[in-house]
Structure 1
Amino acid sequence: MTDVKSQDKADRLKAALKENLKRRKAQARGRQAVKASGNESGSLSVSAERDKPSD
């Protein structure tokens, strides 16, 4: 029984880490796009995105 619980926990952790990595990559692409355009006001949306609660 504990093996099933530990496997479920590991699966949830794996999924959470995968989503976190996906979100971080999207944020990095957004920062790169802002940097490439030379628009400094775009950095405000990145911090606002960071401060939003996750689902």
Structure 2
Amino acid sequence: MRSPSDPPKRETARKPASPPTREDRLKAALKANMARRKAQAKARSAEDARGETKDKD
């Protein structure tokens, strides 16, 4: 049993949050950029597919 003065386990287990390194920031930015580009390409491809079916009818 814990005594009331002991801090909870999760507080002792956490490390202080250090600011992300430049490499970490760049990695996150690249990942977000690639996801955005993928979504744009998917939207363009879907738009083209809809346009082709309308022209054929």
Matches within 5 A, 1:1-55: 1-37=21-57
RMSD over aligned CA atoms reads 0.3
Aligned length: 37
Q: 5+ unaligned residues in a row in structure 2: which ranges?
A: 1-20
Higher relative contact order (CA 8 A, sep 6+): 1
State the structure with more CA Rg. 2
What TM-score comes out, normalization by structure 1 length?
0.66
More helix by percentage: 1
What TM-score comes out, normalization by structure 2 length?
0.64
Q: 5+ unaligned residues in a row in structure 1: which ranges?
A: 38-55
Moved over 3 A (4+): none
